[in-house]
Structure 1
Amino acid sequence: MTVTRRLFLQRTTATLASGPLTTSAFAQGAAPLDYPTRNIRSLCNFGPGSGADIVVRFYSDRLSKLAGQPVIVDNRPGAAGNIATQIAATAKPDGYTIMITPGNATLASAPHLFNEIAFDPIKSFEPVARLSRLPFVVIVKPDSPVRSIAELTALLKAKGAKARYGTSTNTATVTAELYRQMAGLEIERINYNAVADALRGLLADEFDFAAYDATWVAGMAKNNRVRPLAVTSSTRVQAFPDVPTMAESGFPQFDLTPWWGVVVPTGTPKPIVEKLSGWFDQITRSQDAKDFLGTFATEPWPGGPDDLRKLIASELDAWGRYIALAKIEKQ
């Protein structure tokens, strides 16, 4: 056999051997090495200016810097966050649609609050990263005579069937209903499409109190738009050092600490999920993120896809218990 023929056969054999491997890689949905090559859509479950919007825009901006492509925030408020979640669940699984979300409100509690939702919190998504956790805050309007949970409870009892609270998110509803149940109150619920609408309702005396995420409340309180009465976490938070917990305010069993995570549609190639997860981990562990999140009463809580997968499963069960305790009927 000549040297030329031997080299030809070696090259042919190598090419044939590599062919099935290359085909297999594409069959498994391998991510292109240059991902991303265009804009990434970052879905936000709530409206512009909300606490969720602030967090989503922070992470989207930092992700854009790492990915080298614009990350465009797409606000899709409505149905207590379910509209954006449904869009995320049915988006093309190519890594160009992500959802940075308060997962307790949009994933863990939704199946327990609504008779029909067009997504499955576990089957519809690939977990990407765990980000942070933060409390909710019970608030009243800034010129209210109420300055504590005890005073709010007394006011609501005095008003009887005329007492009301406002809400536009699942977690806000659960927080208010748990308080109502624990305090033995009769309160009417007023639903709003967005937090901005609820704020206008609060200032217009359409209801007596609300409960919203600490990120949004911190900004509103700083500008004297709302008055915080208590936080829902088991300990006080940096952004509200003088604001007691619900436990300190007479409800020792009250402890709700919502959390944030990132998901993409099921079927997104694993290399893309891993790439995104690494970027989000880098962002969350940065001093930049710690400073930003601390300002808004939020604690960094980094974790990878497996951490988030386990969290979603456990929180589905936990929020089922919370909602049952609060005796919230499905809508």
Structure 2
Amino acid sequence: MKRRQLAIGLGGLVAGLGTRPAFAQTAAPYPAKPITLVASFSGMTDQMGRVLGEAISAKTGTPVVVDTKAGASGIIAAEYVLKSPPDGYVLLHTTNTTHAANQSLFKTLPYDYIKDFIPVTGVLRGSLMMVASSASPAKTISDLTEMARKQPGKLSFGWGASAVRAAVELYRQTASLDFVSVPYKTNAQAVVDLIGGRLDFMALDALTAAPHIASGRMRALAVTGEKRMPGYPAVPTMQESGIPGYSMTFWQGIYAPKGTPDAVIKRAAALLVDAINSPQARKFMATVSVDPFPISGDELMKFQQAEAVKWRAIVAAAGIQPE
């Protein structure tokens, strides 16, 4: 009797063990719950994230939430994602500021841009515009350059993101000029002062500048990239405006916190690339005059490291002391 009971008990145990591995190995397909894209900046980063989220939701039926944590040059958003569970459901949607520029602009950071994040995919790449208030006497970059040479150390520019600052710093270096740098928490705050006449000029992305240009309160002087923007074909490049060798672009990418499983990274990348290539995303990018940039995670890692080297050179030449 005891042997029979023991046999039944062992049989039940074996049967139970036989079913558990199959259950444990059956993971829920990604995404099985809402995904959060943490945007490091408002404006184009935030809006691009919403476009991508809509495309992913339409394909998977899974909600995608955009949580914008702007401020501190993207550090707030980066630190938040780093402290999130590494399961692919909280991703960082950021720019070259956190993953190329901050490394030279700050003495210490609460994250390591190489060790603490896994690149998932690039998103977009574009140029900025040098802009001035419509009340400014500068109607072209040539005008602004001449004004700066006549008034060294007098003209001011504002910035709320590293790309914006570096675009002007490179202009300063290339043309051997001297400007007053005025930092802001966000670019939007700097725009208010630019329109109000408290700043002389700044660099700005097309999305943020567009409504002010359309309303006549702001004037586009030049484009920072090597080609003109499709949406502003009459605005010349900095090189065409007499600043030879000048070129500055910005970019966005998606990152996951370290420890996120490879299978999840691969699936998230596939969904994001499909979203970047979707009609709604392509339409949005055309509207704001940027190019799709869906490079792989490995390519993004190499690209960001090369960008960090470029930024280090700009910062060093500008004599900017890390904060």
One fold, TM greater than 0.5? Answer: yes
> What residue is the counterpart of 1:326 in the other structure?
318
CA drift at 1:144: 2.1
Report sequence identity in percent. Answer: 31
Match status 1:88 vs 2:81:
yes
CA distance in 1, matches of 2:217, 2:57: 32
> In structure 1, the residue corresponding to 2:97 is in which secondary structure?
helix
Question: Equivalent of 2:157, from 154, 165, 170?
Answer: 165
Question: Equivalent of 1:44, from 36, 39, 46?
Answer: 39
> What residue is the counterpart of 1:33 in the other structure?
28
> What residue is the counterpart of 1:200 in the other structure?
192
CA distance in 2, matches of 1:35, 1:93: 13
Answer yes or no: is the 8 Å Cα contact 1:122–1:312 preserved in 2: no
Amino acid at match of 1:105: T
> What residue is the counterpart of 1:240 in the other structure?
232
Answer yes or no: is the 8 Å Cα contact 1:51–1:215 preserved in 2: yes
CA distance in 2, matches of 1:318, 1:185: 20
> In structure 2, the residue corresponding to 1:258 is in which secondary structure?
strand
CA distance in 2, matches of 1:95, 1:236: 37
CA distance in 1, matches of 2:92, 2:231: 26
CA drift at 1:192: 0.8
The answer to which of 309-318 and 238-247 deviates more is: 309-318
CA drift at 1:298: 0.5
Match status 1:183 vs 2:175:
yes
Amino acid at match of 1:63: I
CA distance in 1, matches of 2:256, 2:217: 35
Q: Deviations over 1:226-248 (max 9, x none)?
A: 21111111111201101111111
> In structure 2, the residue corresponding to 1:121 is in which secondary structure?
coil
Q: Deviations over 1:94-128 (max 9, x none)?
A: 111112222x1221111101112101111111111
The answer to which of 266-275 and 53-62 deviates more is: 53-62
Question: Equivalent of 2:68, from 64, 70, 75?
Answer: 75
CA distance in 1, matches of 2:262, 2:295: 16
CA drift at 1:221: 2.1
The aligned length equals: 312
Unaligned stretches of 5+ residues in structure 2: 1-10
Answer yes or no: is the 8 Å Cα contact 1:127–1:309 preserved in 2: yes
CA distance in 1, matches of 2:177, 2:102: 24
> In structure 2, the residue corresponding to 1:171 is in which secondary structure?
helix
Answer yes or no: is the 8 Å Cα contact 2:122–2:254 preserved in 1: yes
> What residue is the counterpart of 2:8 in the other structure?
none
> In structure 2, the residue corresponding to 1:162 is in which secondary structure?
coil
Question: Equivalent of 1:58, from 43, 51, 54?
Answer: 51
CA distance in 1, matches of 2:125, 2:191: 23
Answer yes or no: is the 8 Å Cα contact 2:169–2:314 preserved in 1: no
> In structure 2, the residue corresponding to 1:139 is in which secondary structure?
strand
Unaligned stretches of 5+ residues in structure 1: 1-8
> What residue is the counterpart of 1:297 in the other structure?
289
Answer yes or no: is the 8 Å Cα contact 1:215–1:298 preserved in 2: no
Amino acid at match of 1:34: P
Amino acid at match of 2:59: L
> In structure 2, the residue corresponding to 1:267 is in which secondary structure?
coil
> What residue is the counterpart of 2:201 in the other structure?
209
CA distance in 2, matches of 1:72, 1:191: 30
> In structure 2, the residue corresponding to 1:160 is in which secondary structure?
coil
CA distance in 1, matches of 2:321, 2:171: 16
Match status 1:101 vs 2:94:
yes
Q: RMSD of aligned C-alpha atoms? A: 2.5
